[in-house]
Amino acid sequence: MFFVRTASASDLAKVSALLAETWHATYDALYGVDKVNEITARWHSVPALKAKLERKDSEFVVADNGRELAGMGYVAMSKDRPKVAFLHQLYVLPRYQRQGIGRDMFAELETCFPDANAMLLEVDPRNDAAVAFYYAHGFAKIGEAQHTADNISCVPLDVYEKPLGG
C-alpha cells in the first residue's frame, strides 16, 4: 500500500530516478532517447528537484510504501495568475500505473491551495494515458501552448483547466 506524503530532500535521488524511468517509458517514442536523456538531466536532476522542494508556494508529494517510491507530484501557484495553481508534474512508475496512485496524489495536490479557484496543466496531446487521466479527473482542454521553459523540448502542448473550490 502506498501513502501520499510531502517529499523531503532525502527523497530527491529516488524521485530523479523515478522521473527518468517514467519519462523514458512515456516519451522515448515521441521525442527520442537522446532528447529524453537531455530533458531528464536538466529538469529532473537532484538540484532542479531541490529548487522545487524549496519553493514557498508549492507542494511536492510522493507515493511511498516504506520501501520504494511509486509516484511523485508537484503543484505551484502561478506566478502570473493569482488564485491559479499549476500542476507541473504528476508521474507514476509504469509498473504501478492504473492502481489509484496517481488519483491519490492528485486528490492531495488539488486541496493544497484552498484559495485557488482553478488548476492548470499542460500536456503533450500525444500522451494518451495522461490526457485520459486528466479528463477523468475533471479537467477540460482550454487552449494550446508550446513548451518554452528552457528551449529543450519546443513541443506543442494542450492546456487543461479544472475549477477548484477557492
Domain boundaries, the chain: 3-163
pLDDT category at 82 given cuts 50, 70, 90 is confident
Residue 163, pLDDT score: 95
The answer to whether the predicted template modeling score (pTM) of the entire model surpasses 0.85 is yes
Residue 152, pLDDT score: 53
| Grid cell in block for residue 106 | 492528485
Q: How far apart are CA 62 and CA 100, in angstroms?
A: 13
What is the rounded average pLDDT of the residues 24-52? Answer: 93
Q: How far apart are CA 41 and CA 108, in angstroms?
A: 28
| Grid cell in block for residue 7 | 517529499
Residue bearing the bigger pLDDT, 5 or 165: 5
Q: How far apart are CA 146 and CA 23, in angstroms?
A: 18
| Grid cell in block for residue 89 | 508534474
What is the rounded average pLDDT of the residues 8-19? Answer: 97
Residue 148, pLDDT score: 55
| Grid cell in block for residue 76 | 505551484
What is 3-163's CATH superfamily?
Gcn5-related N-acetyltransferase (GNAT) (3.40.630.30)
pLDDT category at 31 given cuts 50, 70, 90 is confident
What is the rounded average pLDDT of the residues 81-97? Answer: 95
